[in-house]
Amino acid sequence: MPRPMTLGEKILARAAGVKSVSPGDIVLATLDLCLGNDITAPLAIQAFYQSGGTKVFHRRKVVLVPDHFTPNKDIQSAEQAKILREFAREQKLVYYWDQGEVGVEHALLPEQGVVVPGDLMIGADSHTCTYGALGAFSTGVGSTDLGAAMLTGKAWFKVPPTIKLIFKGRLPADVTGKDLILTAIGRLGVEGANYRALEITGPVIDRLSMEGRLTMSNMAIEAGAKTGIIPPDDITRAYVEKRAQRKPRYYQSDPDAEYERVEVFDVTGMEPVVALPHLPSNVVPVSRARNVVIDQAVIGSCTNGRIEDLRQAAKLLKGKRVSPRVRTIIMPATPLIYRQALKEGLLDIFMAAGCIISPPTCGPCLGGHMGILAKGEKAVATTNRNFVGRMGHTGSEVYLASPAVAAASAIKGRLALPKEVRGSNWKVGVKK
Amino acid sequence: MIIKGKVHKFGDDVNTDEIIPARYLNTSDPKELAAHVMEDADPAFPALVRPGDIIVAGKNFGCGSSREHAPIAIKAAGVACVVAESFARIFYRNAFNIGLTIMECAVAAEAENGHLLRVDAATGKIANLDLGREYAAKPIPAFMQELIAAGGLMEYVRKGLMK
C-alpha cells in the first residue's frame, strides 16, 4: 500500500514518476507548464541561450506573459518586453499574448484554460501559487529555474510538509476570500508557512466562488508557502470544463493524509479586515482602522482584478462619487474581464463615480507605473503586498483589503466598511 | 572557500522590494541593480558596501517576490555571503542557482554592524572575530551541494545531470 498522500503530494509523485513521496524528499519532476513575465523571463532567456539552448522543450508548455511594465512604461522596459516577443516568435510559443490580448498572468492563465487541475507548474513569479485554487501544484521560482525548465521540461522540488487550513461557520455578507486569506496570514505570520504547502479547505471554501478561491491561493506566498491548494469540486469543474485546453486531472487528498498541523478558522461573526503597513500579516478588522485617511484606492491585480471583484466594487460605487481626495484606479485584470465589465455597465458606474480605468497591467501593485505614491501618501489596495515602498515612495503606505472595502474607502476618503456607504442618504450628482 | 568580511546588519523579513525595488527592474544589468541594492532598507548601503562584506539578517530574509534580481544585486555589489536566521524559500533557491553564498544560522545573527565574521563555506563554520564566538550553520542539503559542485543549476543542466 502506498503511503496516504495529500493531493499536492499526489501531483508531485505523478510528475516524478514514483508511487509516493514524503515531506523532505527531493524529486526531479516533469513539468506541465512553466511561466515567465517581462521582468523575470529576460534573465531566463539569457540563461537558456548561455547554456547552449536553441529550442524550448515544448512550445505549448512554455508560457510568456508581458504584464508587469506593460504597456511599456519606458525605453528599458520596452527592451525587456521585446526580448519576450522575439523569443516567443522564434520559438513559436503557443501561449504568448501581446497588447490587446495580454492580461495579468495569474488572471489570464486560468481564464484561458492554459493551466488545468492536476498540473505541476513553476513560474518565475511568486504569485504562481494562484493556480492551487484549481487543484494544481504550482509554485514560484526564479529566472534560472525557469531557464532550466524551458530547456529540459523539468524542475527539482523538495516535497513540502502541508498545513491544512479549515474554514468553517457562517460567512458574513461583506466578508470575502480576501478577508479569509488575510486572516490566515495574520495568524500564520509572513514566515509561518515557509517551505510548506497550504491546503485550504472547509465548508466555507466549498461554497466559495472560483474568483474567491483564486484570491486565497494567490496570497499563500504571503505566509511564505510554496503553494496553496484547494481540493477541486463541482465549482472547479464548472469553471474548468468550458475553458480547459488540456484534460484536467482531479486529485483529492487521502482521508488519512499527513498534515504538519491543522488551523481552524470560525468565520461566524467575522468582519472585513485590512492589512496595515508594512506586512501582509498586520491584519486588523477594518472597524479598528477607520481613522486612516487615504489618497488612492487601487482595485485590481492578480489578487482581486476578476469580474466578481469588479462587481463587488461597482455595487457600492453605483450612483455615488468617490471622495475628491482619492484617486481611484480600477484595473480589470484581462481584456475579457474588461469587456465583460463594459457589457455589464460596470465601467460606466466606475467612470460616473470618478474612477480611472486602467488597461490590464500589474502597474502600481509593485510600484511599477500607472499609480505611484508620493511621500506620505496612503493607498488602500486590493493587491497582495504592503512592504515599505511597494507602491512608490518609501514614505508611502499601502493598506490591503477586499474590493468592497476599497470601494467603500474610496467613497469615504478613509478606510471604511461596505455597510457605511450602503443605503446612505448621500446625494449623488450623477445619473445612473 | 573562506570568507572574511565586515558585517552589515539587517532585521527580520527583509523583503525583495527592499533588496531591489521594482522601480529598478526595467533592467537586469547586475551593475545597475547593484547601484540600488538594499536601498529601501538602508539608503546609505549601496555607497557603504565594499567587496567581501557580509550581510547578517534575522528571519525570513528575501521574502516576497521571486525576482532573481535580488540575489544578483547583492552578489554584484560584492557581498560575499548572507548569513540569516532563516531565508524565504524562493530567495534560498535563487541564491544557490546564481552562486551567492548564503548560510542559515540563528545564533550567528547576534552579530552587530561592523563586526568581522569568518565564514567557511564548505563546512558551514562561522566565527565572529569581535565576539570571539563560533557557530555552525544549518547544513546544506546534499542535492544543493551537487548543484554547487556542478557550478550552478545551468551548468548542472548543461552537463546532462538534470535527468
DSSP structure string for chain B: -EEEEEEEE--S--BHHHHS-GGGTT---HHHHHTTTTTTT-TTHHHH--TT-EEEE-SSBTBS---THHHHHHHHTT--EEEES-B-HHHHHHHHHHT--EEE-TGGGG--TT-EEEEETTTTEEEETTTTEEEEPPPPPHHHHHHHHHTSHHHHHHTT---
For chain A, positions 264-303, list CB contacts with chain B under 8 A.
279
Per residue of chain A (432 residues), what is the pLDDT tens digit? 679 999 999 999 999 999 999 999 999 999 999 999 999 999 999 999 999 999 999 999 999 999 999 999 999 999 999 999 999 999 999 999 999 999 999 999 999 999 999 999 999 999 999 999 999 999 999 999 999 999 999 999 999 999 999 999 999 999 999 999 999 999 999 999 999 999 999 999 999 999 999 999 999 999 999 999 999 999 999 999 999 999 999 999 999 999 999 999 999 999 999 999 999 999 999 999 999 999 999 999 999 999 999 999 999 999 999 999 999 999 999 999 999 999 999 999 999 999 999 999 999 999 999 999 999 999 999 999 999 999 999 999 999 999 999 999 999 999 999 999 996 544 443 433
How many angstroms separate the CA of residue B84 from the nearest CA in chain A? 13
How many angstroms separate the CA of residue B105 from the nearest CA in chain A? 16
Distance CA A159, CA A341 (A): 41
Of A124, A156, A366, the CB nearest to B143: A156
Taking CB atoms and an 8 Å limit, are B66 and A279 in contact across chains? Answer: no
- Report CA A115 to chain centroid distance, whole Å: 14
Comparing alpha-carbon positions, the chain A residue that sits nearest to B67 is A142
Taking CB atoms and an 8 Å limit, are A52 and B158 in contact across chains? Answer: yes
How many angstroms separate the CA of residue B128 from the nearest CA in chain A? 27
Q: Which of B60, B65, B101 is nearest to B81 (CA)?
A: B101
Name residue, grid cell 524562493: B90
How many angstroms separate the CA of residue A80 from the nearest CA in chain B? 7
Torsion sign across C-alpha atoms B23, B24, B27, B28: negative
Distance CA A217, CA A431 (A): 38
Name residue, grid cell 521540461: A153
Return the half-sphere exposure (C-beta side, CA atoms, 13 A cut-off) of residue A416: 21
Q: Which of A259, A256, A291 is nearest to A276 (CA)?
A: A291
* Rg of chain A (C-alpha set): 21
Of B69, B89, B162, the CB nearest to A152: B162
Q: Which of B58, B43, B46 is nearest to B10 (CA)?
A: B58
Residue B71 with chain A: CB contacts under 8 Å: 142
User: Parallel, antiparallel, or unpaired for β B133-136 and B125-128?
Assistant: antiparallel
Contact predicate A126/B64, CB 8 Å: yes
Contact predicate B129/B118, CB 8 Å: yes
Comparing alpha-carbon positions, the chain A residue that sits nearest to B27 is A76
Taking CB atoms and an 8 Å limit, are A43 and B66 in contact across chains? Answer: no
Comparing alpha-carbon positions, the chain B residue that sits nearest to A151 is B157
What kind and span of H or E run contains A296?
Answer: strand A296-300
What's chain B's length in residues? 163
